[in-house]
Amino acid sequence: MKLSDGKLSEEQLAFFYREGYFIAENVLNDNEIEPLRQELAAAVDKKLRQMKSEGRIEDTHEGESFEKRTASIFLDNEQNGAELMYHLEGYMGGGFRGREIFRLIQHPKLLRLAESIIGSELVSSSIYRLRTKVPGDKMKEVPWHQDAGYFAGQCDPHLILTFWIPLVKATKENGCLKILPRAHKQGIIEHFWCQEKKGYLVIEEEDLPERGQKTMAAQVDAGSVVVLTNMTPHSSASNLTDKVRWSIDVRYQNPKTPNNIGLKPHLNQADHLRNVELACYPPEADFIVQSRENPETVVNFDQFMNLRETYYHHYTKGDDYPAPSRWTHEPALK
């Protein structure tokens, strides 16, 4: 659906609250997303040149398109492809840190869209996720889940927006987002840790609510925004093409929603975080992205990078990573 003046109309807001999602078509034009694609392409090129200089790959596939080059590396050698993907994504997709990522999070068009739903005071998070859905990589299949499943329980009454933004055209063939409309009205659904896909939470098929709605495939152009509530079940299947489906998801919330603004990681976080209202798992740095009441609190790029690096390096040490307590069951996926 097209936006009017960059905002959701009353009718579109009603659709969002009723269905649990909204597709805003072509919010960002090609010129506005190209700098991020170029930044990612440069990171890919640098890593591949390093791997070639170390004698680990012969063909860097220089000259191939943004969508095809990383796919070609993976098809040549899965181990090399996985190393390249991890270099970009880091743990659970949040490893890449760059100026264009930050510019996208603060893009006026995205903030205007978020403001029309949750108000002018906006908090974002470095829990953005770069998604590289590589052809043939089964680990890139994302099972049914709610983003709320990764959040602390005290966040359930609050609306936290996910903006899913493809950097290339998203289709059924390359594994676009799948959404279960109206299921958000049931609230939080039981999740399990997925044995087959380490790091993912999953809602088992029999636990998905029956709302008389068919799954909706979000086939959209690059630069469109799929807006989800934190309670909306969604998933994505394998990429059956020969190109990578690149996307990014960003979250926005009102400052009244539990967050960790101003909270730094602590060496003894298992005790330190027990009584802290963190908005998400894994805990990462929340920051003010727009404020008309206190504009001086809006974070700049250097501050963002400092927060991102501090949290990323601290919480990727392994054993001291605080696990969520709300899902204590063993994985049940067969």
- 20-30+99-314 CATH choice from 2.60.120.620, 2.60.40.10, 2.40.30.10, 3.90.76.10: 2.60.120.620
Q: How many residues does the chain have?
A: 334
Residue 15 has what pLDDT? Answer: 97
Predicted pLDDT at 95: 65
Total-model pTM: 0.90
Closest CA to 113 of 9, 247, 217, 216: 9
The SS3 of residue 138 is helix
% pLDDT > 90, the chain: 57
Q: Write out the DSSP string of 67-99.
A: HHHHHHHHHH-HHHHHHHHHHHH-GGG-----H
3-state secondary structure of 101: helix
Summarised one tens digit per residue, pLDDT across range 108-129 is: 999 999 999 999 999 998 666 7
195-224: average pLDDT: 82
Q: What is the pLDDT of residue 234?
A: 96
Alpha helices in the chain (DSSP H): 10-19, 30-53, 66-76, 78-89, 99-105, 108-118, 269-272, 301-314
Tell me the pLDDT band of 319, cut-offs 50, 70 and 90.
Answer: very low
pLDDT in tens, 56-66: 999 999 999 99
Q: What is the rounded average pLDDT of the residues 210-220? A: 81
Q: Indicate the pLDDT class of residue 92, thresholds 50, 70 and 90.
A: low
- Where are the chain's structural domains? 20-30+99-314
